[in-house]
Structure 1
Amino acid sequence: MNAPTRSFEQSVRDLADHPVVNDMAAELLTAPADSVAELLNADGLPNVVFIDLANAEFDRQTTGRSGGYLGSVAHAVLRRRTTLLAEMTAALLAPSPHEVSEAHAADLEARQAIRDFWNHGFPRCPLTRYADVAGDLADRLTRAA
């Protein structure tokens, strides 16, 4: 395969920002992996079927506007899909602004135990039940020794 010309690359870059291409790329993100694989050649480039589908959809949604070069719409969709995937991955891996430390988690558990005590009454509070069982066990172990 010949290397793409500069004007083809410019066409792909221009189309990658088009709202219709963005919508097609977002839709392709939700497609099953085997369906996406059917649209690509072994080298990861769009096959003839994908090029035809992408051109037809782009023409339909833009009322006959062409992508410029054969395959430029499909290449732009794949490029935009890669960008969207990278953005989603970065968002998922970003640290949460509300990360909970161990001390904060212990404080939250203590507060929940107090709420349970007031909501369920003394005998049904999990903290009270735990303390009762632990106390009974300690008493039995002391008597057995």
Structure 2
Amino acid sequence: MSAFKRSFCCAVFALVVLGGCGATTYQTYAKNGASTAAVSRDQTECSLEANRLFPAANFPTTYPSGGYYGTGYYNGGWGLGVTYVGSTDVNAGMRNAHRNDCMRLKGYTPVVYPICTNDQLGGASYAPATGAPAPAPNICAVAQKDARPVLVDLSKPI
């Protein structure tokens, strides 16, 4: 198999694997009597505190790449390269844990909702749910492009 075909096959495989990596759940917090604005305000306060205590600490992430044929110092021959693929924030886990602890101390409970599928929505429109409804089969989150997901009740189309 030629190098081009091998690269093309690897790229197609990666796209197929990564295509199914979208979020399938949305986590938020619930507290009796708390409005959506109050939840958002408290989440922001906890996030700011977590970011201040555990700032981003990014380190490069690399992996060995395939061999290469070099000239110069090695006077020709095969060697191993290193490819930079991004970075890892080593404080992300601590920041997330602190944010969750902060919200729990404020009286919130973490709640996980599924993301609505196209089949569930069926082309209908739904009004946003008020407050933080209890998880139920008819409650799901509609993903928004530039904002947090919105919770809807599938039993109440508009």
- Compare CA radii of gyration and give the structure with the larger one: 1
TM-score (norm 1): 0.24
Structure number with the higher helix fraction is 1
TM-score (norm 2): 0.22
